Amino acid sequence: MSVYLHLIWSYLKIGLFGFGGGYAMLSLIENEIVKHNGLPAWGITEQTFTDIVAISQMTPGPIGINSATYIGYVVPGNAGFESVWFGLLGSLVCTLSVVLPPFLLVSYTSHFIRRHQDSAIIKGVMSGLRPVVVGLIASAALLLMNSDNFGVGGMELTVSVLLCVASFLVVRYTKLHPIAIIVGAGLVGFILYYLLNL
């Protein structure tokens, strides 16, 4: 059962330190769930992590909740608790853990924050966090630029780099919704890797 305690502890930390929105949170999730947990039983690879981000983008709701629900479901199964109910329990505890710290903070400190909104504490802390948040998002991007997601070499690597650059340009310079980009890239993948069998 220690896998549940690990999940709870990880998602409490993610909830407590998750400043700067979903993309900045990715770096925390990666560090807690994918990267450093030396526990092989967790079995969440960079690939699965990227897939969760993709699924999150295409479904409603915040990525923090989506990742907690998906990872909470998968991890107990990987640790040997193979039943829908163990997965459901994992989803539930992870989702509750990630919302508990902000829930308590909002409930008990909102009066304090309202009173001190213009004070040095809040303004100073927020101004110091802003550049860090940029770094957190950049680290998530760097960590995901690996062979898991781009392929080891040859044709797949070339296609992946082209897809990444093209998607970046579309996001940056058009108003196309991210879902459309993911669907488009999925279509390219289907044609090249399945139909043409590259």
Partner 1 sequence: MNIYLQLFFTFLKIGTFTFGGGWAMISIIEKEIVDKKQWLAREEFLDLLAIAQAVPGILAVNISVVVGDKLRGMKGSVAAACGTILPSFLIILLIAIFLTPDLIKNNEIISAIFKGIRPAVVALIIAPVLSSAKSAGITWRTVWIPAAVALLIFSGLPIISNPIIYIIIGGVVGYIVFTRRQLSAKQNDKL
Compare residues 81 and 159 and give the one whose CB is closer to partner 1.
159
Judged by CB under 8 A, does residue 81 bind partner 1?
Answer: no
Q: Scan residues 61-80 and list those touching partner 1 (CB under 8 A).
A: 61-66, 69-70, 73-74, 77
Separation between Cα atoms, residue 140 and residue 26, nearest integer Å: 6
Residue type present at position 45: T
Size of the site for partner 1 (CB under 8 A): 119
Does position 102 interact with partner 1 (CB under 8 A)? The reply is yes
Residue placing its CB nearer to partner 1 in the complex, 39 or 58: 58
> Beta-carbon neighbour count of residue 128 at 10 Å?
9
The type of residue at 3 is V
Q: Does 161 bind partner 1 (CB under 8 A)?
A: yes
Asked if residue 177 lies in contact with residue 78, where contact means CB atoms within 8 angstroms, the answer is no
Contact with partner 1 (CB under 8 A) among 9, 123, 174, 176:
123
Residue 33: closest CA among 62, 74, 61: 74
